[in-house]
Amino acid sequence: MANEYVVPRVPTVDRVAADERAAKFATRSIKTTAKAAGLKLVVSMIDLTTLEGQDTPGKVRMLCRKARRPINHDDCPTVGAVCVYPPMVPVAVEELKGTDINIAAVATYFPSGQATLEERVDEVRRTVELGADEIDMVISRGAFLAGEYGRIFDEVAAVKEACGKAHLKVILETGELKTYDNIRLASQIAIDAGADFIKTSTGKVAVNATMPITLVMLETIRDHFMKTGKMVGMKPAGGIRTAKQALRYLAMVKETLGDAWLSPDWFRFGASSLLNDVLMQIEKQRTGRYHSDRYLSIS
């Protein structure tokens, strides 16, 4: 099978120039009305996440309630989704009943993906049955680095099938693929195999989401859209902790993919500590002054 796979042709990526372009978005000045609207958009795009060995039902409940009502007034949207390990999905289902908040679960033997395809697909099927709306899978980075691109295509396609109605986010773990050329190719393979979203990272390795890595992935999405008319979503995850960072990502989305992607349907932030920093800024916009972080609930 793998031998017959035709590796997609993707443009090469010049690292220096890509880094330079990404840095330009950080010079955009986002103030007043743009900042106020942008902050709310960011909240609506957050996949509020807890992915720890120490996660308990109590912790997940706390997270879900924060997701439903991030702050103690109504002038703030709910987050896009909560993101948990499969065993925690039932807890989230119960807590998020009656809301628009999606339940995302990491499956396919997250974060390493080191299991047989059967085991991984089976985990996906069971997780969807538990009530997950979105599946965040990991690709086999080892297989990719070994040049077995067909295997990556096949595993994404198999997981997509197992997802049924649930949306599939494909984590490339860009911090392990290292080069922008690898990231560009892996993005294309994942999209070709049926990814609804492509996602940078598990949050479990040294380098997680960065602006240039996200840019390379956004450009892959753009090229695919121009060729096929099919939209694919993007989720940078890990390392985005401040409102300022998040607004820069929004500027990058706005200027690379345009207005259609400025929506939680097509762009998400995988983050846990980002929400409170954004809330702090929203309160600053609302009241004209900063309050201490003691006024923000932890999640």
Partner 1 sequence: MGKQSTKSVKDLLFGDLWEYAPAPQGTDFVELDERYGHYIGGEFVGLDSEETFDTINPATEEKLATISVADEATVDRAVKAARKAYDNHWSKISGAERAKYLYRIARMIQEKARNLAVVETMDGGKPIKESRDVDIPLAAAHFFYYAGWADKLDYAFPGATIKPLGVAGQVIPWNFPLLMAAWKIAPALAAGNTVVIKPAETTPLTAMLLAQIIDEAGLPPGVVNIVNGAGATGAAIVNHDDIDKVAFTGSTQVGKIIQRAVAGTGKKLTLELGGKGANIVFDDAPIDQAVEGIINGIFFNQGHVCCAGSRLLVQENIADEVIAKLKQRMSTLIVGDPLDKNTDVGAINSREQLDRITELVGSGVDEGAQKFQPKCALPDTGYFFAPTIFTDVTPSHRIAQEEIFGPVLSVLTFRTPDEAVKKANNTPYGLACGIWSDKGSKLFRVAGALKAGVIWGNTYNKFDPTSPFGGYKESGFGREGGVQGLLAYLEVR
- Which residues are near partner 1 by CB under 8 A? 11-14, 16-18, 20-21, 27-35, 37-38, 41, 100, 102, 133-134, 165-167, 196-197, 219, 222, 225-226, 229-231, 233, 250-251, 254-255, 257-260, 262, 264-265
**Nearer to partner 1 by C-beta: 72 or 99?**
99
**Nearer to partner 1 by C-beta: 124 or 166?**
166
**Nearer to partner 1 by C-beta: 118 or 259?**
259
For residue 114, give the H/E element and its range.
Answer: none
Query: Closest distance between partner 1 and the C-beta of residue 5, in Å?
Result: 23
**Nearer to partner 1 by C-beta: 143 or 231?**
231
CB 5, CB 153: distance < 8 Å: yes
Distance CA 215, CA 127 (A): 31
DSSP 294: G
Query: Closest distance between partner 1 and the C-beta of residue 247, in Å?
Result: 10
Query: Closest distance between partner 1 and the C-beta of residue 231, in Å?
Result: 6
CB 180, CB 13: distance < 8 Å: yes
Query: Closest distance between partner 1 and the C-beta of residue 167, in Å?
Result: 5
Name the one residue in this structure whose structure tokens are 């392990």: 176
For residue 49, give the H/E element and its range.
Answer: strand 46-49
Would you give the end-to-end CA distance of the chain in angstroms? 46
Which residues belong to the active site? Answer: 136, 199, 235
Q: In sequence order, what are the residues at sequence separation of 6 or more whose Cβ sits closer than 8 angstroms to the Cβ of residue 137? A: 106, 107, 108, 110, 113, 120, 124, 156, 159, 168, 169, 170, 171
